[in-house]
C-alpha cells in the first residue's frame, strides 16, 4: 500500500501567487510545491506580469486579485415570501402601501358521529 501525501501550502507558495513584473523577480520566489509552473499573464496580447500556479486559469485569477477583483456568492432568494413580509414592521408595511391584517379564525365543524348499526 502506498501512502499519498498532500502538499501543505507554505508561506513561500502563497508569496509566489503574487503578480511579478519580470520572470526574474518571480523566480526569486519560486514556490516549494513542485506542481507550480511560472505563467506569463497577458491582457490584450501584452504581458502584464508573471505568477506561479498549477494552471492557467488560476494564474489569471492571481492577476485579477492583484488588480483588485474579487467575487462573492449572492444570497439566495427567500423560499417563503410570506415569512419575509411577516418580519416587516408596521411602518415598513405602510411605506409599501400595506397594512397588517389579523389572521382569520376558522371554526372547525364537529366530526359527524358514526351511524349506529
Taking the C-alpha atoms of residue 39 and residue 48, their distance in angstroms, rounded to an integer, is 11
For residue 77, is pLDDT > 70? no
Supply the mean pLDDT for the chain: 83
Taking the C-alpha atoms of residue 111 and residue 3, their distance in angstroms, rounded to an integer, is 69
Number of domains in the chain: 1
Residue 45 domain-assigned? yes
Nearest to 31, CA basis, from 57, 58, 70: 58
Residue 71 domain-assigned? no
Share of the chain above pLDDT 90, in %: 37
Residue 58, domain extent: 11-66
Nearest to 27, CA basis, from 47, 18, 117, 8: 18
Residue 99 domain-assigned? no
For residue 28, is pLDDT > 80? yes
Model pTM score: 0.55
pLDDT at 78 (0 to 100): 60
Taking the C-alpha atoms of residue 116 and residue 39, their distance in angstroms, rounded to an integer, is 89
3-state secondary structure of 83: helix
For residue 106, is pLDDT > 80? no
Residue 40 domain-assigned? yes
pLDDT at 110 (0 to 100): 66
Residue 79 domain-assigned? no
Residue 43 domain-assigned? yes
Amino acid at each position: 500500500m502506498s501512502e499519498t501525501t498532500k502538499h501543505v501550502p507554505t508561506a513561500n507558495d502563497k508569496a509566489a501567487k503574487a503578480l511579478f513584473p519580470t520572470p526574474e523577480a518571480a523566480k526569486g520566489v519560486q514556490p516549494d510545491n513542485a506542481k507550480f509552473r511560472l505563467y506569463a499573464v497577458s491582457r490584450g496580447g501584452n504581458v502584464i506580469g508573471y505568477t506561479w500556479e498549477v494552471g492557467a486559469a488560476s494564474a489569471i485569477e492571481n492577476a485579477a486579485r492583484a488588480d483588485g477583483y474579487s467575487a462573492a456568492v449572492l444570497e439566495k432568494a427567500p423560499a417563503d415570501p410570506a415569512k419575509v413580509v411577516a418580519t416587516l414592521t408596521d411602518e415598513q408595511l405602510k411605506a409599501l402601501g400595506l397594512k397588517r391584517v389579523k389572521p382569520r379564525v376558522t371554526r372547525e365543524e364537529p366530526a359527524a358521529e358514526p351511524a349506529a348499526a
